[in-house]
Structure 1
Amino acid sequence: MADQPSADPAEPPGARAAGSGTERPAPAAGMAAPASTVNPAGPAGTAGTSHLAGVPNAAGRRPPVRVLLADPAPLQRAGLRTLLTTPDAGATAAAAAAGSAAEIVIAGEAADGVDALDLARRLLPDVLVTELALPRLDGLAVIRAITEARLPVRILVVTDEDTDDRIVAAAGAGATGYLCKDAPHDQLTAAVRTVAAGGAVIAPQLLARVLRRLTEALPARSGSGTAALDALTSREREVLVHVARGLANTEIAEVLQVSETTVKTHVGHVLTKLRLRDRTQAVVLAYETGLVKPGGPQDGR
Protein backbone atom coordinates (compact mmCIF):
# COMPACT_ATOMS: atom_id res chain seq x y z
CA MET A 1 0.00 0.00 0.00
CA ALA A 2 1.20 3.47 -0.76
CA ASP A 3 1.73 5.78 2.16
CA GLN A 4 0.21 8.77 0.37
CA PRO A 5 -3.58 9.02 0.02
CA SER A 6 -5.06 9.04 -3.45
CA ALA A 7 -8.44 9.17 -5.05
CA ASP A 8 -8.40 5.40 -5.36
CA PRO A 9 -5.96 3.96 -2.78
CA ALA A 10 -4.61 0.56 -3.61
CA GLU A 11 -6.30 -2.19 -1.62
CA PRO A 12 -6.10 -5.96 -1.65
CA PRO A 13 -8.46 -7.76 -4.08
CA GLY A 14 -11.97 -7.89 -2.64
CA ALA A 15 -11.39 -5.01 -0.21
CA ARG A 16 -14.16 -2.43 -0.17
CA ALA A 17 -14.10 1.20 0.90
CA ALA A 18 -17.12 1.54 3.15
CA GLY A 19 -19.67 3.92 1.77
CA SER A 20 -18.07 4.00 -1.70
CA GLY A 21 -20.74 1.86 -3.33
CA THR A 22 -18.05 0.00 -5.26
CA GLU A 23 -16.38 -3.29 -4.63
CA ARG A 24 -13.21 -4.64 -6.10
CA PRO A 25 -13.35 -8.10 -7.72
CA ALA A 26 -13.50 -10.94 -5.23
CA PRO A 27 -10.49 -13.25 -5.01
CA ALA A 28 -10.52 -16.45 -7.01
CA ALA A 29 -11.41 -19.70 -5.29
CA GLY A 30 -8.71 -20.79 -2.87
CA MET A 31 -7.20 -17.31 -2.55
CA ALA A 32 -6.96 -15.40 0.72
CA ALA A 33 -9.83 -13.22 1.91
CA PRO A 34 -9.52 -9.42 1.78
CA ALA A 35 -6.76 -8.18 4.07
CA SER A 36 -8.01 -4.68 4.77
CA THR A 37 -11.08 -2.51 4.65
CA VAL A 38 -11.08 1.28 4.60
CA ASN A 39 -13.68 3.84 5.58
CA PRO A 40 -11.65 7.06 5.15
CA ALA A 41 -14.45 9.51 5.74
CA GLY A 42 -16.11 8.07 8.82
CA PRO A 43 -19.84 8.55 9.47
CA ALA A 44 -21.91 10.76 7.21
CA GLY A 45 -18.89 11.43 5.03
CA THR A 46 -17.14 13.63 7.55
CA ALA A 47 -13.45 13.50 8.33
CA GLY A 48 -12.84 12.11 11.78
CA THR A 49 -9.66 13.68 13.08
CA SER A 50 -11.01 15.31 16.27
CA HIS A 51 -8.67 14.95 19.26
CA LEU A 52 -9.34 14.42 22.04
CA ALA A 53 -12.03 12.18 20.60
CA GLY A 54 -15.38 11.93 22.33
CA VAL A 55 -15.01 15.33 24.02
CA PRO A 56 -18.18 17.45 23.66
CA ASN A 57 -17.97 20.22 21.07
CA ALA A 58 -19.39 23.74 21.33
CA ALA A 59 -22.87 22.38 20.62
CA GLY A 60 -22.54 19.88 23.45
CA ARG A 61 -22.38 16.90 21.09
CA ARG A 62 -19.66 14.29 21.35
CA PRO A 63 -18.01 13.55 17.98
CA PRO A 64 -17.69 9.85 17.16
CA VAL A 65 -14.60 7.89 18.10
CA ARG A 66 -12.99 6.52 14.92
CA VAL A 67 -11.36 3.11 15.39
CA LEU A 68 -8.93 1.11 13.26
CA LEU A 69 -8.98 -2.65 13.90
CA ALA A 70 -5.88 -4.80 13.40
CA ASP A 71 -6.13 -8.57 13.85
CA PRO A 72 -5.12 -11.44 11.56
CA ALA A 73 -8.34 -13.39 12.25
CA PRO A 74 -11.37 -12.27 10.17
CA LEU A 75 -13.78 -13.64 12.77
CA GLN A 76 -12.02 -11.72 15.53
CA ARG A 77 -12.24 -8.48 13.55
CA ALA A 78 -15.89 -9.14 12.85
CA GLY A 79 -16.52 -9.76 16.54
CA LEU A 80 -14.75 -6.55 17.58
CA ARG A 81 -16.59 -4.59 14.91
CA THR A 82 -19.94 -5.88 16.17
CA LEU A 83 -19.14 -5.26 19.84
CA LEU A 84 -17.80 -1.77 19.31
CA THR A 85 -20.60 -0.56 17.06
CA THR A 86 -23.42 -2.10 19.10
CA PRO A 87 -24.73 0.19 21.88
CA ASP A 88 -23.78 -0.93 25.38
CA ALA A 89 -26.44 -3.12 26.92
CA GLY A 90 -26.71 -0.77 29.90
CA ALA A 91 -26.99 2.43 27.88
CA THR A 92 -30.40 4.08 28.03
CA ALA A 93 -32.09 6.05 25.27
CA ALA A 94 -31.96 9.15 27.44
CA ALA A 95 -28.20 8.81 27.94
CA ALA A 96 -27.67 8.39 24.22
CA ALA A 97 -29.82 11.43 23.46
CA ALA A 98 -27.84 13.48 25.96
CA GLY A 99 -24.62 12.52 24.22
CA SER A 100 -23.11 11.04 27.39
CA ALA A 101 -21.26 8.37 25.41
CA ALA A 102 -19.55 9.05 22.10
CA GLU A 103 -20.53 6.82 19.19
CA ILE A 104 -17.82 4.39 18.05
CA VAL A 105 -17.34 3.91 14.31
CA ILE A 106 -14.93 1.63 12.44
CA ALA A 107 -12.67 3.65 10.13
CA GLY A 108 -10.83 0.65 8.73
CA GLU A 109 -9.53 -2.87 9.30
CA ALA A 110 -6.19 -4.58 8.72
CA ALA A 111 -5.10 -8.22 8.85
CA ASP A 112 -1.38 -7.58 9.29
CA GLY A 113 1.03 -5.06 10.75
CA VAL A 114 2.13 -3.48 7.47
CA ASP A 115 -1.44 -2.64 6.50
CA ALA A 116 -2.22 -1.50 10.06
CA LEU A 117 0.65 1.00 10.03
CA ASP A 118 -0.23 2.20 6.53
CA LEU A 119 -3.89 2.76 7.44
CA ALA A 120 -2.95 4.45 10.71
CA ARG A 121 -0.84 6.94 8.73
CA ARG A 122 -3.47 7.56 6.07
CA LEU A 123 -6.66 7.56 8.12
CA LEU A 124 -5.37 8.94 11.46
CA PRO A 125 -8.03 7.12 13.51
CA ASP A 126 -8.60 8.17 17.11
CA VAL A 127 -7.76 4.68 18.38
CA LEU A 128 -5.95 1.67 16.95
CA VAL A 129 -7.31 -1.52 18.52
CA THR A 130 -4.64 -4.10 17.77
CA GLU A 131 -3.55 -7.65 18.43
CA LEU A 132 0.15 -8.06 19.24
CA ALA A 133 0.64 -11.17 17.10
CA LEU A 134 0.38 -9.68 13.61
CA PRO A 135 1.96 -11.12 10.44
CA ARG A 136 4.47 -9.17 8.31
CA LEU A 137 5.04 -6.61 11.08
CA ASP A 138 4.66 -7.41 14.79
CA GLY A 139 2.15 -5.43 16.81
CA LEU A 140 4.87 -4.00 19.05
CA ALA A 141 6.72 -2.69 15.97
CA VAL A 142 3.50 -1.06 14.77
CA ILE A 143 3.00 0.62 18.16
CA ARG A 144 6.60 1.88 18.23
CA ALA A 145 6.37 3.24 14.68
CA ILE A 146 3.17 5.15 15.47
CA THR A 147 4.65 6.52 18.70
CA GLU A 148 7.96 7.54 17.11
CA ALA A 149 6.14 9.25 14.22
CA ARG A 150 4.05 11.15 16.80
CA LEU A 151 0.85 10.30 14.97
CA PRO A 152 -2.28 11.49 16.82
CA VAL A 153 -3.38 7.87 17.17
CA ARG A 154 -3.89 6.27 20.57
CA ILE A 155 -3.40 2.54 20.95
CA LEU A 156 -5.43 -0.11 22.77
CA VAL A 157 -4.04 -3.65 22.73
CA VAL A 158 -6.66 -6.43 22.76
CA THR A 159 -4.93 -9.79 22.83
CA ASP A 160 -4.71 -13.28 24.30
CA GLU A 161 -1.12 -12.57 25.38
CA ASP A 162 -1.22 -11.55 29.03
CA THR A 163 2.36 -12.26 30.12
CA ASP A 164 4.10 -9.57 32.15
CA ASP A 165 6.81 -9.10 29.51
CA ARG A 166 4.33 -8.43 26.70
CA ILE A 167 2.27 -5.98 28.77
CA VAL A 168 5.35 -4.05 29.87
CA ALA A 169 6.71 -4.07 26.31
CA ALA A 170 3.42 -2.73 24.91
CA ALA A 171 3.30 0.06 27.49
CA GLY A 172 6.94 0.89 26.82
CA ALA A 173 6.27 1.06 23.07
CA GLY A 174 3.49 3.58 23.57
CA ALA A 175 0.21 1.70 24.09
CA THR A 176 -2.08 3.31 26.65
CA GLY A 177 -4.57 0.46 26.93
CA TYR A 178 -4.28 -3.31 27.39
CA LEU A 179 -7.18 -5.77 27.56
CA CYS A 180 -7.57 -9.51 27.14
CA LYS A 181 -9.86 -10.79 24.40
CA ASP A 182 -12.31 -12.17 26.97
CA ALA A 183 -13.05 -8.65 28.27
CA PRO A 184 -16.79 -7.95 28.67
CA HIS A 185 -18.54 -5.79 26.09
CA ASP A 186 -18.94 -2.79 28.39
CA GLN A 187 -15.27 -2.96 29.48
CA LEU A 188 -14.12 -2.98 25.85
CA THR A 189 -16.21 -0.01 24.75
CA ALA A 190 -15.34 1.93 27.91
CA ALA A 191 -11.63 1.27 27.30
CA VAL A 192 -11.85 2.56 23.71
CA ARG A 193 -13.54 5.77 24.86
CA THR A 194 -11.10 6.25 27.75
CA VAL A 195 -8.03 5.77 25.56
CA ALA A 196 -9.51 8.06 22.88
CA ALA A 197 -10.04 10.77 25.52
CA GLY A 198 -6.40 10.61 26.61
CA GLY A 199 -6.71 8.16 29.50
CA ALA A 200 -4.96 4.86 30.18
CA VAL A 201 -6.54 1.45 30.78
CA ILE A 202 -5.14 -1.88 31.92
CA ALA A 203 -7.48 -4.76 32.69
CA PRO A 204 -7.99 -4.82 36.49
CA GLN A 205 -6.91 -8.45 36.75
CA LEU A 206 -3.60 -7.58 35.07
CA LEU A 207 -2.77 -4.29 36.77
CA ALA A 208 -1.73 -5.53 40.22
CA ARG A 209 0.29 -8.37 38.75
CA VAL A 210 2.37 -6.25 36.40
CA LEU A 211 2.70 -3.12 38.52
CA ARG A 212 6.04 -4.25 39.90
CA ARG A 213 7.35 -4.88 36.37
CA LEU A 214 6.14 -1.50 35.18
CA THR A 215 8.00 0.09 38.07
CA GLU A 216 11.19 -1.62 36.93
CA ALA A 217 10.66 -0.08 33.47
CA LEU A 218 11.06 3.44 34.86
CA PRO A 219 14.33 5.18 34.00
CA ALA A 220 16.93 5.32 36.79
CA ARG A 221 16.56 8.34 39.06
CA SER A 222 18.90 10.14 41.38
CA GLY A 223 17.57 10.46 44.91
CA SER A 224 14.27 9.09 46.12
CA GLY A 225 11.14 9.16 44.00
CA THR A 226 9.25 10.64 46.91
CA ALA A 227 11.60 13.62 46.96
CA ALA A 228 10.94 14.15 43.26
CA LEU A 229 7.29 14.81 44.06
CA ASP A 230 8.32 17.81 46.15
CA ALA A 231 8.72 19.74 42.90
CA LEU A 232 4.96 19.51 42.31
CA THR A 233 2.37 21.95 43.59
CA SER A 234 -0.50 20.56 45.66
CA ARG A 235 -2.84 20.81 42.67
CA GLU A 236 -0.34 19.02 40.41
CA ARG A 237 -0.04 16.21 42.96
CA GLU A 238 -3.81 16.00 43.06
CA VAL A 239 -3.96 15.75 39.26
CA LEU A 240 -1.26 13.05 39.34
CA VAL A 241 -3.36 11.01 41.75
CA HIS A 242 -6.33 11.15 39.40
CA VAL A 243 -4.15 10.25 36.41
CA ALA A 244 -2.83 7.25 38.35
CA ARG A 245 -6.42 6.21 39.08
CA GLY A 246 -7.02 6.00 35.35
CA LEU A 247 -9.15 9.11 34.87
CA ALA A 248 -9.09 10.89 31.52
CA ASN A 249 -8.56 14.66 31.35
CA THR A 250 -12.27 15.30 30.90
CA GLU A 251 -13.08 13.26 34.03
CA ILE A 252 -10.39 15.00 36.08
CA ALA A 253 -11.80 18.36 34.98
CA GLU A 254 -15.23 17.34 36.25
CA VAL A 255 -13.88 16.16 39.59
CA LEU A 256 -11.76 19.28 40.17
CA GLN A 257 -14.36 21.66 38.69
CA VAL A 258 -11.86 23.20 36.28
CA SER A 259 -11.57 23.32 32.50
CA GLU A 260 -10.04 20.47 30.51
CA THR A 261 -7.40 22.92 29.25
CA THR A 262 -6.34 23.59 32.84
CA VAL A 263 -6.03 19.86 33.48
CA LYS A 264 -3.91 19.38 30.35
CA THR A 265 -1.64 22.19 31.55
CA HIS A 266 -1.22 20.55 34.96
CA VAL A 267 -0.47 17.15 33.37
CA GLY A 268 2.14 18.78 31.14
CA HIS A 269 3.79 20.42 34.17
CA VAL A 270 3.84 17.08 36.01
CA LEU A 271 5.53 15.28 33.11
CA THR A 272 8.06 18.09 32.65
CA LYS A 273 8.97 18.48 36.32
CA LEU A 274 9.32 14.73 36.89
CA ARG A 275 11.08 14.18 33.56
CA LEU A 276 8.56 11.59 32.44
CA ARG A 277 7.84 10.60 28.86
CA ASP A 278 4.09 10.02 29.12
CA ARG A 279 1.10 9.30 31.35
CA THR A 280 2.04 5.64 31.69
CA GLN A 281 5.31 6.53 33.42
CA ALA A 282 3.42 9.04 35.57
CA VAL A 283 1.08 6.26 36.73
CA VAL A 284 4.01 4.00 37.56
CA LEU A 285 5.77 6.74 39.53
CA ALA A 286 2.62 7.49 41.52
CA TYR A 287 2.44 3.85 42.64
CA GLU A 288 6.20 3.53 43.10
CA THR A 289 6.31 6.49 45.51
CA GLY A 290 3.22 5.40 47.43
CA LEU A 291 1.23 8.44 46.33
CA VAL A 292 -1.38 5.93 45.21
CA LYS A 293 -1.71 2.36 46.45
CA PRO A 294 -3.51 -0.46 44.61
CA GLY A 295 -6.98 -0.71 46.07
CA GLY A 296 -6.19 1.97 48.66
CA PRO A 297 -7.67 5.42 49.24
CA GLN A 298 -6.44 8.36 47.24
CA ASP A 299 -3.65 10.33 48.84
CA GLY A 300 -3.16 13.69 47.23
CA ARG A 301 -1.40 15.26 50.19
Structure 2
Amino acid sequence: MTGSAATAAPADALPVFGRVGAEAGREAVLAHLAEAARAVRRRDIQLVHEAGQGHIGGEFSVTDILVTLYMHVLNVSPERPDDPERDRLILSKGHAAAALYTVLAARGFIGVDELRSFVQPLSRLNGHPARTKIEAVEASTGPLGHGLPIAVGTAVAGRMDGSPRRTFVVLGDGELQEGSNWEALMTAGNRRLDRLVAVVDRNRLQQGARVADTNDLEPLADKARAFGWEVVEADGHDHGALVDAFAAVPAASGRPTMIVAHTDKGYPVSYMRDQVSWHHKVPTAQHVQIALDELGTT
Protein backbone atom coordinates (compact mmCIF):
# COMPACT_ATOMS: atom_id res chain seq x y z
CA MET A 1 0.00 0.00 0.00
CA THR A 2 1.27 3.45 -0.82
CA GLY A 3 1.02 6.42 1.45
CA SER A 4 1.06 8.99 -1.36
CA ALA A 5 -1.46 11.81 -1.42
CA ALA A 6 -2.68 10.53 -4.78
CA THR A 7 -4.06 7.35 -3.32
CA ALA A 8 -4.91 8.32 0.25
CA ALA A 9 -8.62 7.73 0.78
CA PRO A 10 -10.06 9.35 3.90
CA ALA A 11 -13.36 7.99 5.14
CA ASP A 12 -15.22 11.05 3.84
CA ALA A 13 -13.88 10.51 0.30
CA LEU A 14 -17.06 8.56 -0.47
CA PRO A 15 -20.29 10.38 0.37
CA VAL A 16 -23.38 8.42 1.34
CA PHE A 17 -26.10 8.98 -1.24
CA GLY A 18 -29.78 8.48 -0.64
CA ARG A 19 -32.20 6.96 -3.09
CA VAL A 20 -33.76 9.51 -5.44
CA GLY A 21 -37.17 8.74 -6.89
CA ALA A 22 -38.85 9.89 -10.08
CA GLU A 23 -40.74 12.54 -8.11
CA ALA A 24 -37.50 14.53 -7.90
CA GLY A 25 -37.68 15.16 -11.64
CA ARG A 26 -35.59 13.66 -14.41
CA GLU A 27 -32.83 16.27 -14.34
CA ALA A 28 -32.30 15.85 -10.60
CA VAL A 29 -32.33 12.06 -10.87
CA LEU A 30 -29.70 11.99 -13.61
CA ALA A 31 -27.47 14.51 -11.82
CA HIS A 32 -27.68 12.44 -8.64
CA LEU A 33 -26.76 9.24 -10.47
CA ALA A 34 -23.88 10.86 -12.36
CA GLU A 35 -22.34 12.21 -9.16
CA ALA A 36 -22.79 8.90 -7.34
CA ALA A 37 -21.15 6.97 -10.20
CA ARG A 38 -18.20 9.35 -10.24
CA ALA A 39 -17.72 9.01 -6.49
CA VAL A 40 -18.00 5.23 -6.63
CA ARG A 41 -15.39 4.94 -9.38
CA ARG A 42 -12.98 7.26 -7.55
CA ARG A 43 -13.19 5.18 -4.37
CA ASP A 44 -13.21 1.83 -6.19
CA ILE A 45 -9.91 2.35 -7.98
CA GLN A 46 -8.26 3.43 -4.74
CA LEU A 47 -9.74 0.38 -3.04
CA VAL A 48 -8.25 -2.03 -5.59
CA HIS A 49 -4.89 -0.26 -5.48
CA GLU A 50 -4.76 -0.41 -1.67
CA ALA A 51 -5.80 -4.06 -1.55
CA GLY A 52 -3.59 -5.19 -4.42
CA GLN A 53 -6.52 -7.19 -5.79
CA GLY A 54 -9.63 -6.62 -7.83
CA HIS A 55 -11.19 -6.63 -11.28
CA ILE A 56 -11.25 -2.91 -11.94
CA GLY A 57 -12.05 -3.05 -15.68
CA GLY A 58 -15.29 -4.97 -15.22
CA GLU A 59 -16.09 -2.99 -12.10
CA PHE A 60 -15.96 0.27 -14.03
CA SER A 61 -18.09 -1.18 -16.85
CA VAL A 62 -20.85 -2.17 -14.42
CA THR A 63 -20.75 0.85 -12.09
CA ASP A 64 -23.43 2.90 -13.86
CA ILE A 65 -25.77 -0.10 -13.84
CA LEU A 66 -25.31 -0.77 -10.12
CA VAL A 67 -25.59 2.92 -9.22
CA THR A 68 -28.81 3.33 -11.21
CA LEU A 69 -30.30 0.26 -9.55
CA TYR A 70 -29.37 1.06 -5.95
CA MET A 71 -29.79 4.84 -6.07
CA HIS A 72 -33.02 4.98 -8.08
CA VAL A 73 -34.67 1.72 -9.12
CA LEU A 74 -34.56 -0.87 -6.34
CA ASN A 75 -37.13 -0.92 -3.58
CA VAL A 76 -34.53 -1.56 -0.87
CA SER A 77 -33.54 0.33 2.25
CA PRO A 78 -30.52 0.26 4.58
CA GLU A 79 -33.00 0.71 7.44
CA ARG A 80 -34.82 -2.53 6.52
CA PRO A 81 -32.39 -4.77 4.61
CA ASP A 82 -34.44 -7.83 5.55
CA ASP A 83 -37.81 -6.46 4.39
CA PRO A 84 -39.54 -9.50 2.83
CA GLU A 85 -41.08 -7.26 0.15
CA ARG A 86 -37.76 -5.71 -0.92
CA ASP A 87 -36.56 -6.07 -4.48
CA ARG A 88 -33.71 -8.53 -4.95
CA LEU A 89 -30.43 -7.80 -6.74
CA ILE A 90 -28.01 -10.62 -7.54
CA LEU A 91 -24.56 -9.77 -8.91
CA SER A 92 -23.80 -12.85 -10.98
CA LYS A 93 -20.44 -11.43 -12.13
CA GLY A 94 -19.22 -11.70 -8.56
CA HIS A 95 -15.63 -10.78 -9.45
CA ALA A 96 -16.89 -7.16 -9.60
CA ALA A 97 -17.37 -7.33 -5.83
CA ALA A 98 -15.39 -4.16 -5.09
CA ALA A 99 -17.82 -2.14 -7.19
CA LEU A 100 -20.76 -3.73 -5.38
CA TYR A 101 -19.25 -3.02 -1.96
CA THR A 102 -18.51 0.57 -2.90
CA VAL A 103 -22.07 1.09 -4.12
CA LEU A 104 -23.46 -0.54 -0.96
CA ALA A 105 -21.33 1.83 1.13
CA ALA A 106 -22.43 4.82 -0.93
CA ARG A 107 -26.05 3.79 -0.35
CA GLY A 108 -25.54 3.25 3.39
CA PHE A 109 -25.81 -0.55 3.62
CA ILE A 110 -22.25 -0.91 4.94
CA GLY A 111 -19.92 1.59 6.53
CA VAL A 112 -17.65 3.64 4.29
CA ASP A 113 -14.75 2.94 6.66
CA GLU A 114 -15.23 -0.81 6.19
CA LEU A 115 -14.15 -0.54 2.57
CA ARG A 116 -10.58 -0.30 3.83
CA SER A 117 -10.82 -3.97 4.86
CA PHE A 118 -11.46 -5.26 1.33
CA VAL A 119 -9.96 -8.80 0.97
CA GLN A 120 -8.08 -8.44 4.26
CA PRO A 121 -7.98 -11.38 6.73
CA LEU A 122 -11.31 -11.83 8.56
CA SER A 123 -12.94 -9.08 6.50
CA ARG A 124 -16.58 -9.42 5.43
CA LEU A 125 -15.58 -7.95 2.09
CA ASN A 126 -14.33 -11.01 0.27
CA GLY A 127 -13.03 -11.01 -3.29
CA HIS A 128 -16.48 -12.33 -4.24
CA PRO A 129 -19.68 -11.34 -2.39
CA ALA A 130 -20.91 -13.71 0.31
CA ARG A 131 -24.51 -13.84 1.50
CA THR A 132 -23.40 -15.24 4.86
CA LYS A 133 -21.32 -12.15 5.61
CA ILE A 134 -23.33 -9.16 4.39
CA GLU A 135 -27.08 -8.96 4.81
CA ALA A 136 -27.53 -6.75 1.73
CA VAL A 137 -25.93 -9.41 -0.50
CA GLU A 138 -28.72 -11.63 -1.79
CA ALA A 139 -26.59 -14.52 -3.08
CA SER A 140 -23.00 -15.71 -2.85
CA THR A 141 -21.56 -15.52 -6.35
CA GLY A 142 -18.22 -16.08 -8.00
CA PRO A 143 -18.41 -19.20 -10.18
CA LEU A 144 -19.95 -17.81 -13.35
CA GLY A 145 -23.30 -19.03 -14.60
CA HIS A 146 -24.91 -19.30 -11.16
CA GLY A 147 -26.56 -15.91 -10.71
CA LEU A 148 -29.31 -16.20 -13.30
CA PRO A 149 -30.47 -19.67 -12.18
CA ILE A 150 -30.63 -18.34 -8.59
CA ALA A 151 -32.55 -15.30 -9.81
CA VAL A 152 -35.07 -17.50 -11.64
CA GLY A 153 -35.72 -19.41 -8.42
CA THR A 154 -36.01 -16.14 -6.51
CA ALA A 155 -38.55 -14.81 -9.01
CA VAL A 156 -40.55 -18.05 -8.81
CA ALA A 157 -40.61 -17.70 -5.00
CA GLY A 158 -41.89 -14.14 -5.32
CA ARG A 159 -44.72 -15.29 -7.53
CA MET A 160 -45.61 -18.11 -5.13
CA ASP A 161 -45.73 -15.55 -2.30
CA GLY A 162 -48.05 -13.33 -4.34
CA SER A 163 -45.50 -10.55 -3.90
CA PRO A 164 -44.95 -7.54 -6.19
CA ARG A 165 -41.21 -7.64 -5.49
CA ARG A 166 -38.88 -7.74 -8.46
CA THR A 167 -35.68 -9.71 -9.02
CA PHE A 168 -32.74 -8.20 -10.87
CA VAL A 169 -29.62 -10.09 -11.88
CA VAL A 170 -26.50 -8.50 -13.38
CA LEU A 171 -24.47 -10.77 -15.64
CA GLY A 172 -21.23 -10.46 -17.54
CA ASP A 173 -21.53 -11.17 -21.25
CA GLY A 174 -18.67 -13.68 -21.13
CA GLU A 175 -20.53 -15.79 -18.61
CA LEU A 176 -23.41 -16.22 -21.03
CA GLN A 177 -21.26 -18.92 -22.59
CA GLU A 178 -22.24 -21.07 -19.57
CA GLY A 179 -25.00 -23.53 -20.45
CA SER A 180 -26.73 -23.07 -17.09
CA ASN A 181 -27.74 -19.58 -18.16
CA TRP A 182 -29.56 -20.83 -21.23
CA GLU A 183 -31.47 -23.39 -19.18
CA ALA A 184 -32.46 -20.56 -16.84
CA LEU A 185 -33.43 -18.29 -19.74
CA MET A 186 -35.66 -21.02 -21.16
CA THR A 187 -37.29 -21.68 -17.77
CA ALA A 188 -37.95 -18.00 -17.09
CA GLY A 189 -39.47 -17.49 -20.52
CA ASN A 190 -41.63 -20.58 -20.19
CA ARG A 191 -42.90 -19.48 -16.78
CA ARG A 192 -43.39 -15.87 -17.96
CA LEU A 193 -41.60 -14.45 -14.95
CA ASP A 194 -42.45 -10.84 -15.75
CA ARG A 195 -40.91 -9.49 -12.54
CA LEU A 196 -37.49 -10.86 -13.44
CA VAL A 197 -34.89 -8.60 -15.09
CA ALA A 198 -31.55 -9.80 -16.43
CA VAL A 199 -29.05 -7.01 -17.09
CA VAL A 200 -26.15 -8.02 -19.33
CA ASP A 201 -22.99 -5.96 -18.87
CA ARG A 202 -22.14 -6.19 -22.58
CA ASN A 203 -18.55 -4.92 -22.49
CA ARG A 204 -17.50 -7.48 -25.14
CA LEU A 205 -14.42 -8.58 -23.18
CA GLN A 206 -13.74 -11.49 -20.86
CA GLN A 207 -10.62 -12.75 -19.13
CA GLY A 208 -7.88 -12.83 -21.73
CA ALA A 209 -9.87 -12.26 -24.91
CA ARG A 210 -12.83 -10.70 -26.66
CA VAL A 211 -16.09 -12.54 -26.17
CA ALA A 212 -16.63 -12.77 -29.94
CA ASP A 213 -13.26 -14.48 -30.37
CA THR A 214 -14.00 -17.00 -27.63
CA ASN A 215 -17.61 -18.02 -28.28
CA ASP A 216 -19.65 -15.42 -30.13
CA LEU A 217 -23.01 -14.61 -28.51
CA GLU A 218 -24.62 -12.84 -31.42
CA PRO A 219 -27.41 -12.47 -32.27
CA LEU A 220 -27.90 -12.19 -28.50
CA ALA A 221 -31.12 -10.17 -28.55
CA ASP A 222 -32.76 -12.51 -31.06
CA LYS A 223 -31.73 -15.55 -29.03
CA ALA A 224 -33.25 -14.10 -25.85
CA ARG A 225 -36.47 -13.25 -27.66
CA ALA A 226 -36.63 -16.80 -28.99
CA PHE A 227 -36.49 -18.00 -25.38
CA GLY A 228 -39.53 -15.87 -24.50
CA TRP A 229 -37.91 -12.68 -23.21
CA GLU A 230 -38.54 -9.03 -23.90
CA VAL A 231 -35.24 -7.40 -24.86
CA VAL A 232 -34.19 -3.77 -24.44
CA GLU A 233 -30.82 -2.57 -25.70
CA ALA A 234 -29.37 0.50 -24.03
CA ASP A 235 -26.17 2.44 -23.50
CA GLY A 236 -25.01 1.06 -20.16
CA HIS A 237 -23.18 4.29 -19.32
CA ASP A 238 -26.18 6.55 -20.03
CA HIS A 239 -28.13 6.90 -16.80
CA GLY A 240 -31.15 8.26 -18.65
CA ALA A 241 -31.25 5.26 -20.97
CA LEU A 242 -30.94 2.90 -18.01
CA VAL A 243 -33.67 4.69 -16.05
CA ASP A 244 -36.00 4.39 -19.05
CA ALA A 245 -35.18 0.71 -19.57
CA PHE A 246 -35.87 -0.16 -15.93
CA ALA A 247 -39.08 1.90 -15.94
CA ALA A 248 -40.52 -0.48 -18.57
CA VAL A 249 -40.48 -3.40 -16.10
CA PRO A 250 -42.62 -5.44 -15.81
CA ALA A 251 -43.20 -5.67 -19.55
CA ALA A 252 -46.78 -5.35 -20.77
CA SER A 253 -46.32 -8.66 -22.61
CA GLY A 254 -45.97 -10.52 -19.30
CA ARG A 255 -42.51 -11.77 -20.24
CA PRO A 256 -39.23 -11.45 -18.32
CA THR A 257 -36.98 -8.61 -19.48
CA MET A 258 -33.37 -8.72 -20.62
CA ILE A 259 -31.56 -5.38 -20.76
CA VAL A 260 -28.49 -5.60 -22.95
CA ALA A 261 -26.42 -2.75 -21.55
CA HIS A 262 -23.68 -1.84 -24.01
CA THR A 263 -20.64 -0.82 -21.98
CA ASP A 264 -16.87 -0.49 -22.19
CA LYS A 265 -14.50 -2.25 -19.86
CA GLY A 266 -12.67 0.37 -17.81
CA TYR A 267 -15.07 3.18 -18.74
CA PRO A 268 -14.36 6.12 -18.81
CA VAL A 269 -10.61 6.00 -18.02
CA SER A 270 -8.53 6.45 -21.17
CA TYR A 271 -5.76 3.88 -20.55
CA MET A 272 -8.22 1.26 -19.30
CA ARG A 273 -11.18 1.64 -21.64
CA ASP A 274 -11.89 -1.40 -23.84
CA GLN A 275 -8.58 -3.02 -22.85
CA VAL A 276 -8.72 -6.74 -22.04
CA SER A 277 -5.55 -6.46 -19.94
CA TRP A 278 -7.57 -4.61 -17.30
CA HIS A 279 -9.84 -7.55 -16.55
CA HIS A 280 -7.72 -8.44 -13.52
CA LYS A 281 -4.93 -5.93 -13.05
CA VAL A 282 -3.96 -3.74 -10.11
CA PRO A 283 -3.46 -0.05 -10.88
CA THR A 284 -0.23 1.60 -9.77
CA ALA A 285 -0.20 4.89 -7.89
CA GLN A 286 0.37 6.63 -11.22
CA HIS A 287 -2.58 4.80 -12.77
CA VAL A 288 -4.74 5.86 -9.85
CA GLN A 289 -3.75 9.50 -10.16
CA ILE A 290 -4.48 9.59 -13.90
CA ALA A 291 -7.88 8.03 -13.29
CA LEU A 292 -8.74 10.45 -10.50
CA ASP A 293 -7.73 13.37 -12.71
CA GLU A 294 -9.89 12.10 -15.56
CA LEU A 295 -12.86 11.34 -13.33
CA GLY A 296 -12.73 14.77 -11.74
CA THR A 297 -14.32 15.89 -8.50
CA THR A 298 -17.58 17.46 -9.66
TM-score using structure 1 length: 0.33
Q: Which is greater in Rg?
A: 1
TM-score (norm 2): 0.33
